[in-house]
Amino acid sequence: MKELLDITNLTKKYYNKVALDDVTISFEKGKIYGLMGPNGSGKTTLMKVIIGLHKQTSGNVLINDNPLSYKTKCFVSYMPTENFLYESFKVKDIVKYYSDMYPDFRSDYAMEILKEINVDIEFRVSKLSSGLIGKLKVALALSRDTLIYLLDEPLNGVDVLARDAIMDLIVKSYNENKVFIISSHLVSETEKILDSVVFLKDGKVELCGDAEELRQQHGMSIENLYKEVYK
Amino acid sequence: MEFNNNMPIYLQVIHKLKQDIVTGKLRPGEKMLSSREYSHELGLNFNTVARVYKEMEMENIVFTKRGLGTFITESTEKIEIIRYEMAKELLENFVNGMEHIGFTRKDMVEFINK
């Protein structure tokens, strides 16, 4: 396997739970993946292992053939579900903070996106609506120039218009050398931007494949397939 | 454009483009948006749109000029063939639907002419 992100026999155990159970999967560059499954299926754990926040119990993760280390961290941009932004900061301060923290952060690009998606840089985070915070988080993650983008529930708590704006942002960020992995409960809204989908169940890969092929094969949408798989 | 997620999306985009060509919304020889631009416009995955262009090129409905872009065919015969094929499909659906509710071919023709 020589894809951008190769995961082999990955297992992550906590004292009373197996969060990831012998997961083997490859993520190819130039694709947008939907990582799906109910709460507790292992999606966030998988992302946290890739970004190095959790150490795997066993198994291998290779990024461009390099095993996970402090060196591979720079290849991954992670957007967690929670709102992690300092409430008292103004948006422009957050942008400055990111640009100080990450050498690969593209400030001009970030400013452009924020303007396009109507996030006022003079506003304090505490004053932003959930829709604007959602857009801001995604914009920050996508403004880093890395190879792997992990977005954990980017549409959570976000209104319909902001959701469309976020998906447009992801579509526009497409790059043949990068890979995007998006976890989402809102399957019906996200499925049209996905190349491939991965369904996790109890820490295992239940199903994965090309979205269009799955539609053809099963004669139904990814959302309906999801309902079948998890019912 | 709204998409039905229950069937392959690329097929729906191809269908829409064929309609636009047949109705003249897209003129013969007209330059199309790049796959990238079109994917942004439709809010779709880039690879889906790239596939649409590739399939339509294989069917000779569009052609690519290296470095210049992708263009609609200039052949009016080809466009007529597309129109004919679309009409055939619509007709098949119509006939099947009407037969299902008990119309004969003769009935159908009379009904249309009314």
Flag whether B103 is in a domain.
yes
Mean pLDDT confidence for A58-78: 93
Pick the residue with more confidence: A15 or A80? A80
Mean pLDDT confidence for A104-120: 92
| Whole-number pLDDT of residue B44 | 96
Percent of chain A, pLDDT > 70?
100
H-type alpha helices, B23-75: 35-42, 46-58
| Whole-number pLDDT of residue A21 | 96
| Whole-number pLDDT of residue A185 | 85
Flag whether B48 is in a domain.
yes
**Residue A42 domain boundaries:** 5-230
Whether pLDDT at A75 is above 90: yes
A168 vs B: CB within 8 A: yes
| Whole-number pLDDT of residue A144 | 96
How many whole angstroms separate alpha carbon B9 and alpha carbon A146? 29
How many whole angstroms separate alpha carbon A120 and alpha carbon A190? 26
- Residue B40 · residue B9 · CB < 8 Å: no
Mean pLDDT confidence for A29-42: 94
> Which CATH number fits the domain that encloses residue B64?
1.10.10.10
Between A32, A167, A212, which is nearest B9 by CB? A212
Mean pLDDT confidence for A29-45: 94
Chain B nearest-CA distance from A197, in A, is 13
How many whole angstroms separate alpha carbon B112 and alpha carbon B114? 6
How many whole angstroms separate alpha carbon B106 and alpha carbon B85? 23
Contact B45 A219 (CB under 8 A): no
Measuring CA to CA, which residue among A226, A203, A205, A231 is closest to residue A214? A226
Whether pLDDT at A76 is above 80: yes
**Residue B83 domain boundaries:** 9-113
A227 vs B: CB within 8 A: no
Mean pLDDT confidence for A15-33: 95
Residue A127: CB atoms within 10 Å: 12
The predicted complex's ipTM stands at 0.87
Residue that the structure tokens 């199903």 belong to: A207
CB pairs under 8 A between A and B: 56
Mean pLDDT confidence for B87-96: 95
Flag whether B2 is in a domain.
no
Flag whether B94 is in a domain.
yes
**pLDDT, tens digit, 9 for 90 and up, residues B47-58:** 999 999 999 999
| Whole-number pLDDT of residue A170 | 96
Flag whether B61 is in a domain.
yes
How many structural domains compose chain B? 1
**pLDDT, tens digit, 9 for 90 and up, residues A168-225:** 999 999 999 999 999 998 899 999 999 999 999 999 999 999 999 999 999 999 999 9
Phi, psi of A77 (to 5 degrees): -110, 120
Mean pLDDT confidence for B69-82: 95
How many structural domains compose chain A? 1
**pLDDT, tens digit, 9 for 90 and up, residues A128-142:** 998 899 999 999 999
- Taking an 8 Å Cβ-Cβ cutoff, which residues of chain B contact chain A? 3-10, 36, 39-40, 43-48, 51
**pLDDT, tens digit, 9 for 90 and up, residues A156-167:** 888 888 999 999
Whether pLDDT at A24 is above 80: yes
| Whole-number pLDDT of residue A71 | 87
- Give residues with Cβ within 8 angstroms of A75, minimum separation 6: A63, A64, A146, A147, A148
A212-B30-B12 Cα angle (round to 5) = 20
Percent of chain B, pLDDT > 90?
95
| Whole-number pLDDT of residue A1 | 53
> Which CATH number fits the domain that encloses residue A138?
3.40.50.300
